Amino acid sequence: AELDTLDIVVLAAILLGTVAYFTKGKFWGITKDPYASSFANANGAKAGKTRNIVEKLDESGKNCIIFYGSQTGTAEDYASRLAKEGKSRFGLETMVADLEDYDYDNLDEIPSDKIVMFVLATYGEGEPTDNAVDFYEFIYNDDVSFSSGNEPPLGNLNYVAFGLGNNTYEHYNSMVRNVDKALQKLGASRIGQAGEGDDGAGTMEEDFLAWKDPMWKALQEKMGLEEREAVYEPVFGIVERDGFTKDSPEVYLGEPNKMHLDGSPKGPFNAHNPYIAPIAKSYELFSVKDRNCLHMEVDISGSNLTYQTGDHIAVWPTNPGAEVDRFMNVLDLTHKRDDVISVKALEPTAKVPFPTPTTYDAIVRYHMEICAPVSRQFLATLAAFAPDEEAKAEMTKLGGDKDYFHSKVNIYHFNIARVLETVGKGKKWSNVPFSALIEGITKLQPRYYSISSSSLEQPKMISITAVVEQQYLPGREDPFRGVATNYLLALKEKQNGEPNPAPFGQTYEIMGPRNKYTGIHVPVHVRHSNFKLPSDPTKPIIMIGPGTGVAPFRGFIRERKRQAEHGEEVGKSILFFGCRKESEDFMYADEWKEAKAVLGDKLEIVTAFSRDGPKKVYVQHRLKEKAKEVNELLEKKAYFYVCGDAANMAREVNTVLGQILAEQRGIPETKGEEIVKNMRAANQYQEDVW
Ligand code: FAD
């Protein structure tokens, strides 16, 4: 294939990058920054990039492509790990690819000596992730057709598949199951089992590890691959940019892209480009000392963002200062945290997950999920760079022994820096290549929140209802604290008069890069969801929303109140809400009273306080008590909504509803379950669970 100009520019940049990498930037005297645009080119800018996989494989000399369908970054991370392992153990020429970046009508032209891997997360109610929608619609379709007309169409295709799912959802791992089915039907050959990871059981990582070894073995046999001693090869080159300081205007200090760097962020605002939104107000919803739940009003009037009641807002967090410091310290980066570097993919198909030139501090603070669970495989990789033999042996053991890892790392919710501190016994891990950290640590992900306002009432103000994540873990000194919610708590404290907020001793750079977020701002974008009120407001609705699961229902109820105030007729609305104690965490109690004053009998709030009485009472118990009324409303075609905890509550509610229907209608329980299933299929039963 012919090289176009962009390829030549990219190739030149890589050559330059490689030279610079080996010379540590010594001869770096150029003023124009050849890296400045590489982030945009490598990450999403489509100009000049081919969408033809066959062409891509040819021109890049790759023989193994790993596609990912990812929503929260885990599938993408697994794809990168497969790519690395394939290369280091078997010498495969691997590349990772976003499903969204290619077309699939010539999948049949991929020759049989190449391997295609699919790492596919299932999202929500058995849906593809946003980046996999087009691929899924193409492949899982009876009329799928390909360019060459081979028979069977995918007779040449050798593929590998792993799915990421959650067994608490009805359509467990349906993406990988359906794609696998479709590929088989088209004559493709699967190598190894189609793996399934289960987030619901909390075994995703272990499921992945357990799946991949037999898969590699099968692949080795099928393709005749030789295993070699795995050596670490960096994917990224780090170039020290002596000509810059952290105050140079070209240097990214946490700005997500060029527009933000230039101080002129523009829409469309989305998962690649957040809106830096002012927080209009924020307050605490609980009246108990050691637990927090935040209500925040995010003003989107300065943007072209829109939302509908029931949508989600994504918050882009920054890491807490104490954990950034810990990470810097144990990896011996503190002395150069503000040094300016460029990061270049050493091979053309790898993507640098943040814009450069930037500083170590900015990368760690704004772009790396440094507090997240540690992967066992990553610890094994880092063993090679341990400060001494003892630490090396310990890392190898942690990497290889699932139960040992669980007892030493998992139960304390340790993050990577805490593991390194413990294993290294205070020694610094100076030998770890920074590239290994970029490869081994996922990029910092936005967190989603179910919008708790009504777009009818306040189209340009989005509210968030978020419980601040903290867990006391036996054997661990300080409680585990969630990243985004503690960052939001700091913002709330700042807004309400705390000059230097440091919730639980954690500080945040809440003014953002270059103080761009002063005046209490938070980076956000909106994700549209299918969790929606019936279009006919006279339809009754039944809402099950304990804890923060109440968030979207606050929006629903405010919407109906608003409609009633404008003289519209609205249907009956019942909310089942549960929490621990009426006096502690019964959020929005006053608002329900106000809504009731307008809606009267049309609104019913049913509460379950689990710790107020001698017996624990949950929403599903209350639902059962109201069996008769629930059944009557469903006979009037009420919509049924469940929001909140996916692991237990949502599942039990589903079961209880089946029982209610059976009992009230005098039918067998299996029939009741079937009706619930049909309600789901008809969108009459909707879930927004996490
Ligand atoms: P994180 O730091 O992300 O931690 C979250 C959890 O991950 C921890 O509790 C722990 O179990 C695990 N974890 C993290 N680090 C480690 C570690 N090192 N070791 C082991 N385990 C670890 N939340 C709300 O409060 N209100 C809402 O309305 C709401 N709506 C949502 C809607 C959707 C569609 C989704 C997907 C989620 C929603 N959530 C909501 C949850 C929210 O997105 C966040 O997950 C939650 O706020 C925690 O974020 P965090 O960054 O504070 O915690």
Per-residue pLDDT of 110-147, as tens digits, reads 999 999 999 999 997 789 999 999 999 999 998 898 98
582 and 610 Cβ atoms separated by less than 8 Å: no
Q: What is the pLDDT of residue 48?
A: 62
Instruction: Say if residue 381 is exposed, middle or buried (CB neighbours under 10 Å; 0-12, 13-18, 19+).
Output: buried
Percentage of the chain with pLDDT > 70?
93
**Residue 552 CA, closest ligand 1 atom number:** 28
Q: How many CB atoms lie within 10 A of CB 41?
A: 17
Q: What is the pLDDT of residue 42?
A: 41
**How far apart are alpha carbons 60 and 486 in whole angstroms?**
44
Q: Please say if the pLDDT value at position 1 is more than 60.
A: no
How far, CA to CA in Å, does 428 sit from each of 31, 185, 369, 374, 399?
35, 54, 20, 18, 19
3-state secondary structure of 30: coil
Per residue in 70-114, pLDDT tens? 998 899 999 999 999 999 999 999 999 999 999 999 999 999 999
Give me the chain's average pLDDT, please.
92
**How far apart are alpha carbons 345 and 234 in whole angstroms?**
9
Q: Which residue owns the Cα nearest ligand 1 atom 24?
A: 466
Per-residue pLDDT, averaged over 261-279, amounts to 96
Catalytic residues: 450, 643, 688, 690
**How far apart are alpha carbons 616 and 613 in whole angstroms?**
7
Per-residue pLDDT, averaged over 226-246, amounts to 93
Q: What is the pLDDT of residue 197?
A: 97
Per residue in 558-573, pLDDT tens? 999 999 999 999 999 9
Q: Which residue owns the Cα nearest ligand 1 atom 40?
A: 449
**How far apart are alpha carbons 341 and 351 in whole angstroms?**
16
Ligand 1 centre to CA of 239 (Å) is 35
Strand-pair category, 340-345 with 358-359 = antiparallel
Q: What is the pLDDT of residue 376?
A: 94
Q: How many helices (H) and strands (E) does the chain have?
A: 23, 23
Give the CA diameter of the chain: 83
Per-residue pLDDT, averaged over 425-433, amounts to 97
| Range name among 45-49, 231-235, 269-273, 359-363 with the lowest pLDDT average | 45-49
**How far apart are alpha carbons 378 and 385 in whole angstroms?**
12
Q: Which of 312, 422, 480 for a ligand 1 pocket mutation test, highest count of atoms within 8 Å of Cβ?
A: 480
Q: What is the pLDDT of residue 502?
A: 87
pLDDT class of 31 with cuts at 50, 70, 90? very low
Q: Please say if the pLDDT value at position 39 is more than 80.
A: no
- Which DSSP string corresponds to 389-418? HHHHHHHHHHHH-HHHHHHHTGGGT--HHH
Q: pTM for this one?
A: 0.88
Residue matched to tokens 């037999």: 214
**Residue 487 CA, closest ligand 1 atom number:** 52
Per-residue pLDDT, averaged over 603-615, amounts to 96
Here the contacts of 493-502 (C-beta below 8 Å, separation 24 or greater) are 494/520, 495/279, 495/281, 495/282, 495/520, 496/282, 496/283
Q: Please say if the pLDDT value at position 32 is more than 60.
A: no
Q: Is the peptide bond before 355 cis (omega within 30 degrees of 0)?
A: no
Q: What is the pLDDT of residue 124?
A: 79
Task: Name the DSSP class of 566.
Answer: T
Handedness of CA 333, 337, 339, 340 (dihedral sign): positive
Ligand 1 centre to CA of 447 (Å) is 7
Ordered alpha helix ranges (H), 23-73: 38-42, 53-60
Ligand 1 binding residues, C-beta < 6 A: 312, 317, 371-373, 413, 415, 447-450, 465-467, 469, 482-485, 548, 551, 690
Q: What is the pLDDT of residue 285?
A: 98
Per residue in 295-345, pLDDT tens? 999 999 999 999 999 999 999 999 999 999 999 999 999 999 999 999 999
**How far apart are alpha carbons 425 and 341 in whole angstroms?**
29
Ligand 1 centre to CA of 517 (Å) is 23
3-state secondary structure of 609: strand
Per-residue pLDDT, averaged over 222-230, amounts to 91
Torsion of Cα atoms, 209 then 215 then 217 then 218, to 10°: 170
Ligand 1 centre to CA of 551 (Å) is 15
**How far apart are alpha carbons 1 and 16 in whole angstroms?**
23
Q: Which of 327, 413, 464 for a ligand 1 pocket mutation test, highest count of atoms within 8 Å of Cβ?
A: 413
> Regarding predicted confidence, which is higher, 427 or 506?
427
Ligand 1 centre to CA of 526 (Å) is 17
**How far apart are alpha carbons 454 and 556 in whole angstroms?**
7
Ligand 1 centre to CA of 482 (Å) is 7
Q: Which residue owns the Cα nearest ligand 1 atom 47?
A: 485
**Residue 124 CA, closest ligand 1 atom number:** 34
pLDDT class of 54 with cuts at 50, 70, 90? very high
Q: What is the pLDDT of residue 5?
A: 45
Per-residue pLDDT, averaged over 422-433, amounts to 97
Here the contacts of 679-686 (C-beta below 8 Å, separation 24 or greater) are 679/634, 679/640, 680/125, 680/170, 683/530, 684/637, 684/638, 684/639, 684/640, 685/639, 685/640, 685/641, 685/642, 685/657, 686/530, 686/531, 686/532, 686/639, 686/640, 686/641, 686/642
Nearest to 239 by CA among 416, 358, 384: 358
How far, CA to CA in Å, does 28 sit from each of 202, 249, 333, 357, 655?
48, 18, 22, 13, 65
| Assigned token pair, 23 | 């010379």
Per residue in 190-217, pLDDT tens? 999 999 999 988 899 999 999 999 999 9
Strand-pair category, 573-579 with 541-544 = parallel
Q: Which residue owns the Cα nearest ligand 1 atom 44?
A: 447
- Report ipTM (2 d.p.): 0.99
